[in-house]
Amino acid sequence: MHDDHHDDPHAPLAHDHPQTEFEKRVDAVQALLIEKGIITPDDVRRAVEEMDSRSPALGAKVIARAWVDPAFKGRLLANAKRAIAELGIEFTQEAALFAVENTEKVHHVVVCTLCSCYPRGLLGYPPDWYKSLNYRSRVVVDPRGVLKEFGLELDANVEVRVLDSTADMRYLVIPPRPAGTERMDEEELASLVTRDSMIGVARARTPALQ
Amino acid sequence: MTRVHDRGGWPGAGPINRAEHELSWWEKRTDALMRLMWTPERRVIRVDEMRRAIESMEPGQYEKASYYERWLHALETLLIEKGVLTREEIELKVKELDKR
Amino acid sequence: MTPRFKPGDRVRVRADSPPGHIRTPKYVQGKTGEVAGIHGAFRNPETLAYGRDGLPKQFLYVVRFDERDLWQQYRGSPRDTLLVDVYEHWLDPA
């Protein structure tokens, strides 16, 4: 969408379509904050770029490393921020970061029922459904029903463990490594790791489905 | 006391709409401006204050608003509350930009 | 400062709805669970939300609940659990 504006923070006012009320208001707030010297146009550009640089590819890289390197996985589970720093990823959010592992016995799924807390530093902006009232309402009371909607049916002997992130603790799910991936390298493995599998509403892709 | 943002187990919730949209430029900037307000150097707004401002929305408005409409509401509310901007200034600026 | 609870302790979440900003969801209030871990001590969001300093810090716990203890008509498996982060002043021994 309006990517052409990215290079032009000095003039967020050139619009090629009728502006909505909200566009006008954010333009006004931004202009005033700049006039008052609280921020610069460059700050805005960099802040947008910072989030644009965050995407599930970062999380996928972390998961792939955890799959091939059990010692790294151990460090990730023990201190996630420090472990991802080994891969050159700085988790700039002020919140703490925790990794939890999905196995054949335990399946974690993450939600924030009160707002939309999300490990943005590793996964980027949260998807619309994660922020939706229906997901926030239902996944705590009927996690299996919600997972089924996402196409994931779990056996009754699996413990479904819902994580409601109510404090400034962010949770990253390590999905199980799919079968048949023994010969794959880290990069190929990372391509199997979906955003949804790191939230816990899906499994990682299997190679056959690629 | 029922809190409109406290959604866990909220009755009547339906199927989850899994359609996703690419954030538009105003949404990204709302996100960016809010984050700039809570950087350690500025600390104009704390994330807890943003949550409180969103939760203080009138319940009907909260439910109707899109995600970044809520953020923008909180951004304006808190900047005014803290005396960084005034309501009048914002309205005036909206009009001024509108004329261009 | 030492935490009041340790992992394994049974705790009940206070049922309280004071005006203002709180981070304890209604659906766990009045429910009994088990301390699964201690995150450490953090500034209190209830006062941070109003521009104050959030001190004194509060211990923050991960509390585990059986889903069936949270929802009378829980439809999933009896194994299913829910973990939520709760500040110490919201917890009583159970």
Sign of CA dihedral B49, B50, B54, B57: positive
Average pLDDT taken over every residue of chain B? 96
C-alpha distances in Å from residue A75, one per residue of A2, A62, A66, B70, C16? 41, 11, 9, 38, 39
In a domain, B47, yes or no: yes
DSSP A5-43: GGG-TT-TT--SSPPPHHHHHHHHHHHHHHHTTSS-HHH
Q: Do A38 and B42 touch (CB under 8 A)?
A: yes
Contact residues, chain C, for A114 at CB < 8 Å? 23, 25
B 80-99 → A contacts, CB under 8 A: 84-85, 89-90, 93-94, 97-98
C-alpha distances in Å from residue A128, one per residue of A20, A132, A196, C77? 20, 6, 12, 28
* Residue in A with minimal Cα distance to C46: A167
B57 in A contact zone (CB under 8 Å): no
ipTM value:
0.97
C-alpha distances in Å from residue A31, one per residue of A13, A19, B35, B50, B87? 10, 16, 16, 20, 14
Query: What is the pLDDT at residue A12?
Result: 47
- Kindly state the percentage of chain B with pLDDT values over 70: 100
Query: What is the pLDDT at residue A1?
Result: 40
In a domain, B58, yes or no: yes
* Residue in B with minimal Cα distance to A151: B18
pLDDT digits (tens, 9 = 90+) for A7-55: 444 444 445 667 789 999 999 999 999 999 999 999 999 999 999 999 9
pLDDT digits (tens, 9 = 90+) for B24-47: 999 999 999 999 999 999 999 999
Query: What is the pLDDT at residue A16?
Result: 61
Q: Do B16 and A39 touch (CB under 8 A)?
A: no
Q: Where in chain A is the domain with CATH 3.90.330.10?
A: 56-209
* Residue in B with minimal Cα distance to C48: B48
| Nearest CB to B1 within list C17, C48, C71 | C17
CB C47 within 8 A of CB C54: yes
Mutate to test the interface with B, among A1, A13, A25 (most CBs of B within 10 A): A25
DSSP tag of A4: G
Which CATH number belongs to the domain containing residue B34 in this structure? Answer: 1.10.472.20
Superfamily of domain A56-209: Nitrile hydratase alpha /Thiocyanate hydrolase gamma (3.90.330.10)
pLDDT digits (tens, 9 = 90+) for A117-143: 999 999 999 999 999 999 999 999 999
What is the count of structural domains for chain B?
1
pLDDT digits (tens, 9 = 90+) for A89-108: 999 878 999 999 999 999 99
Average pLDDT taken over every residue of chain A? 92
C 10-69 → B contacts, CB under 8 A: 17, 19-21, 25-28, 45, 48-51, 54
A88 φ/ψ sector (left φ>0, alpha ψ -120 to 50, else beta): left
Query: What is the pLDDT at residue A99?
Result: 98
Domains of chain C: 10-93 (2.30.30.50)
A14 in C contact zone (CB under 8 Å): no
Query: What is the pLDDT at residue A94?
Result: 81
Which residues of A have a catalytic role annotated? Answer: 112, 115-117
Determine the distance in angstroms separating the CA of B2 from the nearest CA of chain C, rounded to an integer. 8
Mutate to test the interface with A, among C26, C67, C91 (most CBs of A within 10 A): C67
Determine the distance in angstroms separating the CA of B95 from the nearest CA of chain C, rounded to an integer. 31
> Could you tell me the residue range of the domain that residue B65 belongs to?
25-99
